[in-house]
Structure 1
Amino acid sequence: MNKTTLLKALVPDVVLPIAIYYACRRFGLHETISLLLGAGAALIRVLLVAVVSRRFNGLAALVCSGFAVGLLLTFLTGDPRFLLAKESVLSGLLGLLMLGSCLLGRPLMYALVRRLSADDPRKLAEWERLWRFEPQFRKVFLTLTLVWGIGLLAESITRIPLIYRLPLDVMTGLSTALQLGTFALLIGWSLLYRQRRLGKAAASGNIRALR
């Protein structure tokens, strides 16, 4: 799964809650009820996809956990803004995890891409060789992980205060726009960076390694 496919997979989980929220608000339902219905529908969708595909991966687990925590906190506190803040909290935690991985071990992006190529032993072996002996190869994944970590953390720090300052009807849509915008910018930058690195790899005869 490349980054563009990942964004397409995330869009339904991001757009469905907001669509249901504004539909419910149009019919006069309370803000809290509208958010709960939107989050509940998105959670059910993720679970149905997992059942149909017979695959409950880490991404699905992360999305489900976020919805579950948001729903629980909303019920316990009566504050529906937790359902919006949960996504930024998860983004911030993921950003911190990425930054920490650059200091404590192999960058998280490298681990994620290796996992996506787990069914190709020869490719995994080649990547392991490049990781050990090619500094430029390590630099690619270090840069990717640092930029994504900083971007996700910045999105979280920006969005959470807005959630508690702006009206809920405004922030429900704006929150989604900020989230999708952040992912779009990060993916766009990653594709440009990858293209540039491929050009350099082609010049050195090592283009296959970065594909």
Structure 2
Amino acid sequence: MRKLLIGLLWDVGLPAVVYYGAHGLGYDVQTALVAAGVVALLRVAFVALLHRRLEVVAAIIGGTFPVLLAISLLTDDPRILLAKESVLSGAAGIALVGSCLLGRPLVYLLTPAPRSKHLTTITWLFGAVLLLDAVVRLVLVYSLPLDTMANLSPILHVGALALLAACALWFRKRRLAHAR
């Protein structure tokens, strides 16, 4: 869990630092978002080279950024880059909820624990939180001023991840208490 949290901090924190650094140096929001996205993509490549394998999630993130960057540049709409996290959260949420509807919750693939109603509940919960995060952020991307949302997006992302981590820890603690 600690390794996962450190990785998430790098994945969220590094692009945020680059965005704020570029913006602080006077670059416009779109240029700062592009710089942050490029750094995130380089991080994905670095981790893939370090571990000598490309994770599925990293591949999706890595593939999404260039597509959304191209669309953003073609339409001259930097909000599309801000919508990237909503697209990714929404896709993950749909995958998790969809896997439950198909009777094969994805969390079973991520944990060595035996199959249980507990893991199905966590899959539903994670999917629902990610879908809610995607919808809320997408609405805010197109409702709030660009600078405001660029500042708010990482906070919302970390908040959603913290909520998911807290839920997972609560369920784990509850399961261990019932096992005794």
Unaligned runs of 5+ in 1: 115-122, 132-137, 203-211
Cα distance in 2 for partners of 1:183, 1:13 equals: 12
Corresponding residue pairs, total? 180
In structure 2, give the amino acid aligned to 1:46.
Answer: V
Superposition deviation, residue 5 in structure 1? 2.9
Displacement of 1:91: 0.5
Task: Please give the per-residue CA displacement for 1:120-174, whole angstroms capped at 9, x wherever unaligned.
Answer: xxx8xxx3xxx4xxxxxx2111110011011000111111111112122211121
Whole-Å separation in 1 of the counterparts to 2:49 and 2:73: 27
Aligned 8 A contact 2:61 2:88 in 1: no
Amino acid at match of 2:167: W
Q: Does residue 193 in structure 1 map to residue 166 in structure 2? A: no
Larger of the two Rg values belongs to structure: 1
**TM-score calculated relative to the size of structure 2:** 0.92
Q: 1:98 corresponds to which residue?
A: 96
Paired position in structure 2 for 1:120:
none
Is residue 85 from structure 1 mapped to residue 83 from structure 2 by the alignment?
yes
- Give the whole-Å Cα distance in 1 for the aligned partners of 2:111 and 2:134: 24
Aligned to 2:61: 63
| Paired residues for 1:114-193 under 5 Å | 114=112, 127=114, 131=115, 138-193=116-171
Report runs of 4+ in structure 1 exceeding 3 Å deviation.
Answer: none
Q: Counterparts of 1:13-28 in structure 2 under 5 Å?
A: 13-28=11-26
Residue 20 of structure 1: CA displacement?
1.5
C-alpha distance in structure 2 between counterparts of 1:38 and 1:78, whole Å: 17
Instruction: Tell me the amino acid that sits aligned with residue 96 of structure 2.
Output: M
Q: What SS class does the counterpart of residue 164 from structure 1 fall into?
A: helix
Report the 3-state secondary structure (helix = DSSP H, G, I; strand = E; otherwise coil) of the residue aligned with 1:24: helix
Instruction: Give the one of 43, 46, 50 matched to 1:45.
Output: 43
The alignment's C-alpha RMSD in Å is 1.6
Distance, in Å, in 1 between the alignment partners of 2:41 and 2:102 is 33
Residue matched to 2:111? 113
CA contact (8 A) 1:74 1:83 kept: yes
User: Unpaired segments of 5 or more residues in structure 2?
Assistant: none
- State the alpha-carbon separation in 2 of the partners of residues 50 and 100 from structure 1: 28
Counterpart of 2:34 in structure 1 is: 36
* 1:100 aligned partner, one-letter code: G
Q: Deviations over 1:178-202 (max 9, x none)?
A: 0110110111111011111111112
